[in-house]
A and B are shown apart, each in its own frame.
Chain A
Amino acid sequence: MHEYTLAQNIMKIITEYSSTHNGYQATEVVIEIGELSGVMIDALKAAVDVLVKNSEFACTEFIYSEKKAKAQCTQCGHEVAVSDFISTCSQCHSSRLDIIEGKELCVKSIAFE
């Protein structure tokens, strides 16, 4: 359900950027979604598809790029790849990890032509 709000925000952002690019069309929008952002790409895609239909971005290509998650162990400083919030450190087995990458949720780039 919150994906709909996020899709609206995507529309807001590309509308804002488009308004300063008169004569150009946004042809490609890259959206970055962290593995641990709490957003399901399919649900976001579906919401964007609904909003895009019959809008000035009907022909714009939306690319969803998933960013893998990374955590740092608060005990030994080791960096580990994680895919959930309950992983443990591969070096010292501590469960006290801080997520340092993978929570991203942003419009990464817009291509105009």
Chain B
Amino acid sequence: MCDTCGCQSEDEATYKKPGDTNHDHTHSHPLRHVLDVNRDLLHDNDLMAERNRGFFEARKIMAINLVSSPGSGKTTLLEKTISALHKDIRFFVIAGDQNTLNDATRIEKTGTEVIQINTGTGCHLDAEMVHMAIRKLDPPRNTLLVIENVGNLVCPALFDLGETKRIVMISVTEGEDKPVKYPHMFKSSDVCIVNKTDLLPHLDFDLAQLRGNIKKVNHQMKVFELSALKGEGLQQWLKWLTAQKTP
């Protein structure tokens, strides 16, 4: 076989006369050259995320990327947070969902401006989508933008949206090993909210084990344990968020 072009495989029959080289056909080998590309696959997304981040910084907007599995309670926490703090903080919301407008409708009832991004088959928001949404929303200076990501703990982990803080939520109905099963998401988040603590008495859930797993994956994680529905533990979260907003 020809070492240069690999034009013939070992198990093919070859026809040679004595004195023939092992190259029994002629063709020219164009100059092969290898280009060092080193281009990140998320390059375009990361660039757009940086643009978003610049926009947020310039306008002193705190942008939160809120991620969880479907049904952990993201929208519920948002509703409660907005009604508790709307006098002091002006909220804007981008709600990601594959198909429905349900979350946007719920948020709108709190009197907050909201844009729904339907991703269709897409399983995550990307920086470009958020860019288009903030152009539409045009949040003014000193506001708080919450981006409720599509319910999914895998894909959104890779896509920087330009957020100030990434917050991952897990509810106590989901299993203590979630941080270890979805380490990318937990590793890349700044804050973890453990929701639905009101259900703890009815479940065989080991909160200490969950805490241990969170710290194992991300030793810098700030953790809040609360019930968005019943309100226990909500105060610490609200206090922290307010402090972040007005440093």
Contacting pair A2 B158 (CB below 8 A): yes
Which of B36, B124, B216 makes the CB contact (< 8 A) with A95?
B216
Complex-state Cα separation, A27 to B122, whole angstroms = 31
Interface assignment of B123: CB less than 8 Å from any CB of chain A: yes
Interface assignment of A51: CB less than 8 Å from any CB of chain B: no
Contacting pair B37 A108 (CB below 8 A): yes
Q: Contacts A107-B39, A111-B33: A2 and B154 contacting too (C-beta < 8 A)?
A: yes
Complex-state Cα separation, A112 to B37, whole angstroms = 12
Which of B35, B36, B122, B124 makes the CB contact (< 8 A) with A112?
B35
* 9 other A-B residue contacts (CB within 8 Å) besides A6-B41, A24-B30, A109-B38: A1-B154, A2-B155, A17-B37, A85-B217, A86-B180, A96-B219, A106-B40, A109-B34, A113-B33
Q: Contacts A38-B158, A85-B217: A112 and B32 contacting too (C-beta < 8 A)?
A: yes
Interface assignment of A13: CB less than 8 Å from any CB of chain B: yes
> Which residues of A are found within 8 Å of B158, using beta-carbon distances?
2, 38-39, 105
Interface assignment of A49: CB less than 8 Å from any CB of chain B: no
Complex-state Cα separation, A66 to B151, whole angstroms = 29
Contacting pair A38 B184 (CB below 8 A): yes
In the complex formed, the residue of B with least CB distance to A12 is B44
Interface assignment of A10: CB less than 8 Å from any CB of chain B: yes
Interface assignment of A15: CB less than 8 Å from any CB of chain B: no
Complex-state Cα separation, A84 to B213, whole angstroms = 13
Q: Shortest Cβ distance from B126 into chain A, in angstroms?
A: 8
Q: Shortest Cβ distance from A12 into chain B, in angstroms?
A: 8
Contacting pair A13 B39 (CB below 8 A): yes
Count how many chain B residues have C-beta atoms less than 8 Å from C-beta atoms of the other chain: 35
> Which residues of A are found within 8 Å of B29, using beta-carbon distances?
113
Q: Contacts A10-B41, A38-B157: A110 and B183 contacting too (C-beta < 8 A)?
A: no
Q: Contacts A1-B154, A113-B32: A107 and B180 contacting too (C-beta < 8 A)?
A: no
Over the window 154-172 of chain B, the binary record of Cβ atoms lying under 8 Å from chain A Cβ atoms (1 yes, 0 no) is 1101110000000000000
Interface assignment of B42: CB less than 8 Å from any CB of chain A: yes
Q: Shortest Cβ distance from A73 into chain B, in angstroms?
A: 11
- Chain A residues 64 to 92 lying within 8 A of chain B, measured CB to CB, are 84-86
> Which residues of B are found within 8 Å of A6, using beta-carbon distances?
41-42
Interface assignment of B196: CB less than 8 Å from any CB of chain A: no
Complex-state Cα separation, A28 to B40, whole angstroms = 17
Q: Contacts A84-B183, A85-B217, A96-B219: A9 and B41 contacting too (C-beta < 8 A)?
A: yes
> Which residues of A are found within 8 Å of B31, using beta-carbon distances?
113
Contacting pair A1 B155 (CB below 8 A): yes
Contacting pair A86 B38 (CB below 8 A): no
> Which residues of B are found within 8 Å of A109, using beta-carbon distances?
34-38
Complex-state Cα separation, A85 to B214, whole angstroms = 11
Complex-state Cα separation, A2 to B123, whole angstroms = 7
Which of B32, B38, B124, B219 makes the CB contact (< 8 A) with A106?
B38
Q: Shortest Cβ distance from A86 into chain B, in angstroms?
A: 4
Q: Contacts A2-B155, A38-B158, A86-B180: A106 and B187 contacting too (C-beta < 8 A)?
A: no
Q: Shortest Cβ distance from A69 into chain B, in angstroms?
A: 12
> Which residues of A are found within 8 Å of B178, using beta-carbon distances?
none
